Amino acid sequence: PVLRYRAQTEAGELTVTIAQRPCPNSMSGEVLPYTVAVQAKTSAQTAMRDFAGCGRYLGDYRLHDIWALETVDGQAVVATQFGKDKPYLELNLTSGQALGFSGCNAFGGNLTPERGGLRFGTLRGTMLACPALAFEQKFRGALSGQSFIYRLENRRLTLENRANTLI
C-alpha cells in the first residue's frame, strides 16, 4: 500500500510518497511502520531535491478522549445493568494505548491509528466476576485485535467494522 501526494504551483513542486513498509530509524533504532520519501523543488531551482525518512500516522486529535459507551451492535448500554460506572473507552493516541472499563473490569492494550480508522491490539484486563460478564465479553471481544473505521458526528464517536458497531 502506497500513497502519493503531488502539488505543483508557480512557486514549485512537491511529491510525497508514503509506503506502508517497516522503516528502521537510524537515529533512535525504533522501527516505524512507514517509509516516507519527499521530492521538492522551488521555481528558482533546476532539479528536485530528495528527502527520505520514516514515519507513523498520528491519527485524528479529536479521538484522543474518553468515550462513554452508548450502544454495542444496536443494543443500548443502560447504566442500571452495571455497578457505579458505565462502560467507557479511552483513546490515547500519544501513547498508542486504548484503556477502558467494561462494566466490572478495567482493560487496556495497544492502539494504532490508521488512515480513516483505528486498529486495536489484544486487550487485556482484570478478571473480576460480575453480573454483566456476558456484556463485558461482548464489548471487549468486539474491540480486541480488530480494526475499525470511525465517524465523529455531534460529539459522538462511531466505530464500525464488518462485525460490530459501537457508539
Query: Looking at the predicted structure, is the pLDDT value of residue 128 above 90?
Result: no
Question: Could you give the CA distance from residue 117 to residue 132 in angstroms, rounded to a whole number?
Answer: 29
Characterise 162 by phi-psi region: left (phi > 0), alpha (psi -120 to 50), beta (else).
Answer: alpha
Coil, strand or helix at 79: helix
Provide the pLDDT confidence category of residue 7 given band limits of 50, 70 and 90. very high
pTM (two decimals): 0.73
Task: Give the three cell numbers for residue 148.
Answer: 475499525
Are 101 and 108 within 8 A, CB to CB? no
* Mean pLDDT to the nearest integer, 5-17: 96
DSSP annotation of 30 reads P
Residue 41, beta-bridge partner list: 13
Cα–Cα distances (Å) from 90 to 57, 80, 94, in that order, read: 19, 21, 12
Provide the pLDDT confidence category of residue 84 given band limits of 50, 70 and 90. confident
